[in-house]
Amino acid sequence: MLTAAAKFRIRVNGRIHDVYAAPRTPLLYILRNDLKLNGPKFGCGLGECGACAVLIGNRSVRSCTIALSAVRDRAVTTLEGLGNSDAPHPVQAAFIANNAAQCGYCLNGMIIATVALLASHPHPTETEIRNALRYHLCRCGTHIEILAAVRSAAAWSAEAGQAGDGAVDDRATSHDPHEAAS
């Protein structure tokens, strides 16, 4: 059944956005089209492949399965919100250092899942790493490099001695009332 569009206020990458859309619109389309974020990718729309993963709080979720109306005031973090190429998040840096991409389309989900893994398991075993990524699909066969990147990221966060160092700081918020979507 169709539901009329309504205004929703969401918090993404530390900024508040007002968007106007039908409540059941998958968050993925809001992030990509209204917020013009390219990190989360459309891969299946069925929650199967993980290309659209984002962090909500410190959990990795598939944004194609999250209704806009379900987000409420939870903090959403996309790949862009983790860091940029000048100041990448440690997990992003580990993926870059390990050349952990071929086409790179699945990379978003791999990085997001790794950040979530390290937030809950700062010292993951090999099995924990593989299980954390098992429902993230890669077709290029970059698994070896991705596993190496996750191990590097885990080692770095262990060295830093801060459990959950990879966690996302979502406290900072700024409100831009001009962000309202078309």
Range 134-153, binding other proteins (CB under 8 A): 134-145, 147
Which residue number, 110 or 161, has a Cβ lying nearer to other proteins? 110
Among the candidate windows 35-43, 153-161, 162-170, 171-179, which touches other proteins by CB under 8 A? Answer: 35-43
- CA angle, 52 then 90 then 46, to 5°: 10
Distances (CA, A) of 121 to 5, 48, 60: 39, 23, 13
Q: How many CB atoms lie within 10 A of CB 46?
A: 9
Q: Residue 46 has which token pair?
A: 């069925």
Among the candidate windows 32-40, 152-160, 162-170, 172-180, which touches other proteins by CB under 8 A? Answer: 32-40
Which residue number, 66 or 118, has a Cβ lying nearer to other proteins? 66
Contacts of 38 (CB under 8 A, 6+ apart): 32, 80
Which residue number, 18 or 161, has a Cβ lying nearer to other proteins? 18
Could you tell me the smallest distance in angstroms from the CB atom of residue 40 to other proteins?
8
Considering the rule CB under 8 A, would residue 175 count as an interface residue with other proteins? no
Is the CB of residue 113 less than 8 Å from the CB of residue 132?
yes
| # residues contacting other proteins (CB under 8 A) | 83
d(CA 18, CA 75): 14
Among the candidate windows 45-53, 159-167, 170-178, which touches other proteins by CB under 8 A? Answer: 45-53
Could you tell me the smallest distance in angstroms from the CB atom of residue 56 to other proteins?
5
Considering the rule CB under 8 A, would residue 119 count as an interface residue with other proteins? no
Residue 26: strand pairing partners = 67
- Selected binder of other proteins within 17, 77, 92, 122 (CB under 8 A): 92
Considering the rule CB under 8 A, would residue 120 count as an interface residue with other proteins? no
Considering the rule CB under 8 A, would residue 49 count as an interface residue with other proteins? yes
Considering the rule CB under 8 A, would residue 4 count as an interface residue with other proteins? yes
d(CA 137, CA 157): 25
2 class by beta-carbon count within 10 Å (0-12 exposed, 13-18 middle, 19+ buried): exposed
Considering the rule CB under 8 A, would residue 42 count as an interface residue with other proteins? yes
Q: Residue 155 has which token pair?
A: 């080692």
